[in-house]
Amino acid sequence: MKIIDAIAQSAPFYSLEFFPPKERTAWADFFAVAERLRAVNPLYCSVTYGAGGGVAAGTLEIASRLTGLGFTVMNHLTCVGATPESIRAYLEKLGLAGVENILALRGDPPAGENIRWEDCPFTYAADLVSFVRREFPSFGIAVAAYLTPHPESPSFAEDRLYTAMKIKAGSDFAVTQLFFDSREYFEYVEQLRRLGVTKPILPGVLPVQSMDLLRRVLRLSGCNIPAKLYLALEEADRKGGAEAVREAGAVHAVEQIRQLIAGGAPGVHLYTLNRAELCLRIAEQVGPL
């Protein structure tokens, strides 16, 4: 089933993002986390995919096993360094595994590699979207949306234009990068609507697990965080350590989710970081969506 069809039939919902553990010895714990998170009744879960195909095999196997456990799965798919033949072969494997939805991404080159994008079969995520829509029309396709512009975008305006282009290339919906200020999401959606985008834009929410993880995520994603929130998390860390940070992060996430749903967001995509406890606590405190 295409996820967009489930979205159209659903009240506000949760979806979840997982990443494949690097070591197979961690897979048992990973699937235990996934089973615990069934309690939030996720509409679907997404599984990330490494740049250059570094964890492609692990992503495929985990996506297949989650599908076998009854989850609707959206497999991340990057096209950096890929060929039409390699993308076609991977999508055929996904279809055989019962995975019918992808998140189409350009991806970043593996560390230390320089890529001449103009020489690549897929220069942008929009190229991948068009290819999949043409070659595999039964697949559901989502794309990523960046409230903070992609590092290679020259301006906010051009970033929005590129996002609109890849959605219009054949995407069913978009999922945003993590953010911490709900006003940014609503402003972003309005900007895309003015560009003619009518598809759902699903907000991504990261429950703050620790200051170290937060700093790493901010460094990698380039997203913004309100100074007041960051200072409050630092103060919680000084006074009560990691548990106090998780508590402050939970309070913020609960309020953020309530604001998003009250403002008309179709649902909330939780970046789980493969951890169940905080996500479960937040969902319980939010109550029914």
Q: Which residues are catalytic?
A: 17
Q: How far apart are CA 199 and CA 59, in angstroms?
A: 27
Is the four-CA dihedral 164, 167, 168, 173 of positive or negative sign? Answer: negative
Q: Give the amino acid at 69.
A: L
CB within 8 Å of 254: residues ≥ 6 apart:
282, 285, 286
Exposed / middle / buried, residue 116 (Cβ in 10 Å: 0-12, 13-18, 19+): exposed
| Three-state secondary structure call for residue 8 | helix
76 neighbors 48 (Cβ within 8 angstroms): yes
Q: How far apart are CA 200 and CA 194, in angstroms?
A: 14
